[in-house]
Amino acid sequence: MFQLFLIAKLVHLVGLIIWIGPSLGGFWMLLQAEKSGDERLEVWVRRRFETLVNVEHLGLLLLLAGGIGMTYATEWAPFKLEWFQWKLGIVVGIILPLEVADVAMVNFVLGRALREIPESGGYSTRYLVGVRSYKRFVMASVVILAVALPSIFWLAVWKPGLP
C-alpha cells in the first residue's frame, strides 16, 4: 500500500500544478491582451485561454484522483482526522462547486460566444455579455479562493490536532 500512496501523492501534486499553473498564466496573458486594445489579439488569446482552462479542469481531476488514491492507500483513515474533514469540507463545499460553475461558464457561456466571432473580429452582444459574466464570476471566485486555498494548504501542511 505504501507504493500506492507515493504514486497517488505524485498524481495529487502533479494535478495541483496543472490545476493552478495554466489558469494563472493564461489569465495574465488575457489581462495583457485586454490592455493592448487589440480586438483580434484579445479574441485569439480568449480562445487559447478556453483550452488552458480545460487543462486546468483536467488538473483538478488528477488532484482529486490522487487525493482519493492516498486516502484509499491509508485504508480511509484520514476520514477520522479533524484536519482532513475540514479540508474535505472546503474542497467539496467550495472548490468543487466553483469548478463546476467554471466548466459551465467557460464551455457554454464564453465558449459559445467565442465561436460566434469571426477570425477577423467584431464583438457580438453574446460575446460581450459572456465576457462580462465570466469576469464577474472570476472576480468573485478569486476572493473566495484567496481564503479557501491557503486554508487547504495550511490544513495539509500543519495537520492541526496531530502530535
Q: What is the pLDDT of residue 110?
A: 86
> For residue 40, how many C-alpha atoms fall within 13 Å in the half-sphere facing its CB?
4
Q: What is the pLDDT of residue 116?
A: 79
CB 96 within 8 A of CB 54: no
Neighbouring residues of 9: CB distance < 8 A, sequence distance ≥ 6: 66, 70
Series of mean pLDDT values for 10-residue runs along the chain (163 residues)? 91 97 90 91 90 94 97 95 96 97 91 78 80 91 96 95 77
Q: What is the pLDDT of residue 126?
A: 82
> Could you tell me where the beta strands, DSSP code E, fall in 50-161?
none
Q: What is the pLDDT of residue 139?
A: 92
Residue at grid coordinates 468543487? 96
Nearest-10 crossing angle of helices 125-158, 96-104? 160
CB 68 within 8 A of CB 96: no
Q: What is the pLDDT of residue 119?
A: 65
- In terms of Cα–Cα distance, which of 82, 65, 30 is closest to 51? 30
Q: What is the pLDDT of residue 96?
A: 97
